[in-house]
Chain A
Amino acid sequence: MGKIRKTVLGIALAVCVLGSSVSSCYAATSSIEVGVTATSAWGNFRYEEAGHHLKVTVYYSEKDSQGNTRIDEVSAHQFGNFISVYVSRPSPGGWQYMNGYARGFVDDVLEALSAVMHA
Chain B
Amino acid sequence: MRGKARMRKGIHFTGGRKLLCVLTAGIFLLSACGKTEEQDTEGTAALVQSDKGEADFAYPYVAESEKGYYFWERMNQDLWYPRLMFMDKESGRVVPLCSRPDCIHEGMECNAYFREVGNNGGGVHKYYLQYYEGNLYAVGFSEDAYVSLFRIRADGSAEWEISAKLYRTDYAATGEWKTPEILIHDGYVYFVDWYQKVKKLERMPIDGGTSEVLFQGNSNASAVDIYRIKGNGGSLFFQVNSYYNDTPENAGVAAYQYDPADGQCSLVMEGFHGTFSVREGFVYYSSPEGLCRYSIQDQTTELLVEQPMNVPTITLTRDYIILCAQWEDGGKLTLYDYEGNEIATVPNTLRVGWYFGGNSDMLFGECWTETPSLVFLDLNRPVGEMQWEELKENSR
Contact surface of A with B, Cβ cutoff 8 Å: 55, 57, 61, 63-77, 85, 87, 90-94, 98-99, 101, 103, 107-110, 113, 115-116, 118
B283 at the interface (CB under 8 A from A): no
Interface positions of B from 192 to 226, Cβ below 8 Å from A: 194, 197, 222-223, 225
**Chain A residue at smallest Cβ distance from B127:** A71
B residues less than 8 Å from A68 (CB atoms): 225, 227, 241, 275, 326
Say whether B223 contacts A92, CB under 8 Å. yes
**Which among B76, B80, B225, B327 is the interface contact of A93 at CB below 8 angstroms?**
B225
- Report whether over half of chain B's contact residues are helix, strand or loop; otherwise say mixed: loop
Q: In the complex, what distance in Å separates the CA atom of A70 from the CA atom of B132?
A: 23
Say whether A115 contacts B176, CB under 8 Å. no
| CB proximity of B283 to chain A, nearest CB, Å | 15
B residues less than 8 Å from A64 (CB atoms): 225, 241, 248
- The 23 listed contacts between A and B (C-beta, < 8 Å) are A61-B368, A64-B241, A65-B251, A66-B273, A66-B274, A67-B275, A67-B312, A68-B275, A70-B179, A72-B177, A72-B194, A74-B175, A74-B176, A75-B119, A75-B175, A77-B175, A85-B175, A87-B176, A98-B327, A107-B8, A108-B118, A116-B368, A116-B372
**Chain B residue at smallest Cβ distance from A74:** B176
| CB proximity of B218 to chain A, nearest CB, Å | 13
- Counting chain B residues whose Cβ lies within 8 A of the other chain, the interface size class is 35 or more
B residues less than 8 Å from A101 (CB atoms): 372
B395 at the interface (CB under 8 A from A): no
**Which among A67, A72, A93, A99 is the interface contact of B326 at CB below 8 angstroms?**
A67
| CB proximity of B213 to chain A, nearest CB, Å | 21
**Chain A residue at smallest Cβ distance from B372:** A116
B residues less than 8 Å from A108 (CB atoms): 7-8, 118, 120-121
Q: In the complex, what distance in Å separates the CA atom of A115 from the CA atom of B373?
A: 12
Q: In the complex, what distance in Å separates the CA atom of A78 from the CA atom of B310?
A: 44
B residues less than 8 Å from A76 (CB atoms): 175
**Chain A residue at smallest Cβ distance from B369:** A116
| CB proximity of A40 to chain B, nearest CB, Å | 14
Q: In the complex, what distance in Å separates the CA atom of A67 from the CA atom of B222?
A: 19
B residues less than 8 Å from A67 (CB atoms): 274-275, 310-313, 325-326
| CB proximity of B194 to chain A, nearest CB, Å | 8
Say whether A77 contacts B120, CB under 8 Å. yes
**Chain B residue at smallest Cβ distance from A94:** B248
Say whether B274 contacts A113, CB under 8 Å. no
**Across the A-B interface, the 9 shortest Cβ-Cβ residue pairs:** A94-B248, A67-B311, A65-B248, A92-B223, A75-B175, A92-B243, A92-B222, A73-B177, A92-B246
**Which among A61, A66, A75, A90 is the interface contact of B253 at CB below 8 angstroms?**
A66
Say whether B354 contacts A61, CB under 8 Å. yes
| CB proximity of A15 to chain B, nearest CB, Å | 26
